[in-house]
């Protein structure tokens, strides 16, 4: 079963020097990042603001072939599907909490040629997202309250990851928030295979070694199963 699961490391550039977004992103890719996790916040769904599709589009103009995931921490994810597709996003991961018709949003994302990620905050039960798994390419289990980088990893969210892995052996499960070398084994053993890591990678003295460390931990866990 686990033969087909891939370990992928997606650094979050949220806590990088955003005045050098392109350079920081390219450096992460040169250091082995499998994809870029771009945190989009609207100041409404979460109490913080970052950037939107115009910035993503500029980044895509300079980085042609990397996989871009946008993590949409916004109140109306439906609104940004077309502009994000136009900006060259590969995967549109959105929170289900504020959305009335999750199926419609999933459908529209696919119609616009992007992969679908469905995300839940720490307080949202896993059953709420489970019903959309057949429409999604990935489930994101947040391991902090969305809004800010550099927060403490919430280990109690691993129950959700374990539940999903036990019931959906080939599902891509992503974790995001407080993930780094000291918490990766917890995530990997629970069954996560897409790993977002912000401050732990951005602030690392050796980004490449840190990314490899995270990927090795996930591969070890996959191969143990």
Phi, psi of 35 (to 5 degrees): -160, 170
* Least distance to Zn ion, CB of residue 176, Å: 4
Among 84, 178, 194, 221, binds ligand DX5 (CB under 6 A): 178
Other Cβ atoms closer than 10 A to 138: 20
Among 71, 95, 160, 165, binds ligand DX5 (CB under 6 A): 71
Nearest 5°: CA angle at 217, between 59 and 175? 50
Among 176, 183, 186, 222, binds ligand DX5 (CB under 6 A): 176
Per partner kind, with CB cut-offs from 5 to 8 A, the member of Zn ion, ligand DX5, none near residue 198 is ligand DX5
DSSP 3: G
Question: Which C-beta is closer to Zn ion: that of 53 or that of 71?
Answer: 71
Alpha-carbon distances of 70 from 24, 162, 206, 224, rounded to whole Å: 17, 24, 25, 31
Structure tokens at 178: 């407080």
CB contact at 8 A, 90 and 114: yes
Question: Which C-beta is closer to ligand DX5: that of 14 or that of 102?
Answer: 14
The answer to whether 42 is a known catalytic residue is no
* Least distance to Zn ion, CB of residue 39, Å: 4
Size of the site for ligand DX5 (CB under 6 A): 22
Which conformational region is residue 83 in: left (phi greater than 0), alpha (psi within -120 to 50 degrees), or beta?
alpha
Among 141, 179, 186, 195, binds ligand DX5 (CB under 6 A): 179
- Binding site residues for substrate, as ranges? 12, 71, 147-150, 178, 198-199
Per partner kind, with CB cut-offs from 5 to 8 A, the member of Zn ion, ligand DX5, none near residue 149 is ligand DX5
Nearest 5°: CA angle at 115, between 143 and 45? 45
Please give the helix or strand (H or E) that residue 202 lies within, else none: helix 199-202
Among 5, 7, 8, 14, binds ligand DX5 (CB under 6 A): 14
**Where does this chain bind Zn ion (CB under 5 A)?**
39, 71, 176
Decide if residue 144 touches ligand DX5 (CB under 6 A).
yes
Decide if residue 12 touches ligand DX5 (CB under 6 A).
yes
- Please tell me the distance from the alpha carbon of residue 121 to that of residue 145, in angstroms, as a whole number: 6
The answer to whether 34 is a known catalytic residue is no
Decide if residue 53 touches ligand DX5 (CB under 6 A).
no
Torsional sign, CA 47, 49, 50, 56: positive
Q: Mind telling me the catalytic residues?
A: 39, 176
């Amino acid at each position: 079963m686990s033969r087909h699961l891939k370990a992928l490391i997606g650094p979050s550039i949220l806590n990088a020097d955003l005045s050098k977004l392109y350079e920081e992103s390219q450096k992460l890719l040169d250091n082995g990042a499998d994809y870029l996790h771009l945190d989009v916040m609207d100041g409404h769904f979460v109490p913080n603001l970052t950037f939107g599709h115009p910035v993503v589009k500029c980044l895509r103009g300079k980085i042609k072939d990397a996989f871009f995931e946008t993590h949409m921490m916004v109140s109306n994810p439906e609104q940004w599907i077309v502009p994000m597709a136009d900006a060259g996003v590969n995967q549109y991961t959105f929170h289900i909490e504020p959305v009335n018709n999750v199926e419609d949003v999933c459908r529209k994302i696919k119609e616009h040629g992007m992969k679908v990620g469905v995300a839940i905050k720490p307080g949202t039960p896993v059953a709420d997202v489970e019903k959309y798994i057949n429409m999604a390419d990935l489930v994101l289990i947040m391991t902090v309250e969305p809004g800010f980088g550099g927060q403490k990893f919430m280990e109690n969210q691993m129950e959700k990851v374990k539940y999903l892995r036990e019931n959906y052996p080939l599902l891509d499960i992503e974790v995001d928030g407080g993930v780094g070398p000291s918490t990766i084994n917890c995530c990997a053993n629970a069954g996560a295979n897409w790993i977002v890591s912000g401050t732990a990678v951005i602030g690392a003295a050796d980004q490449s070694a840190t990314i490899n460390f995270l990927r090795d931990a996930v591969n070890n866990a996959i191969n143990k199963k």
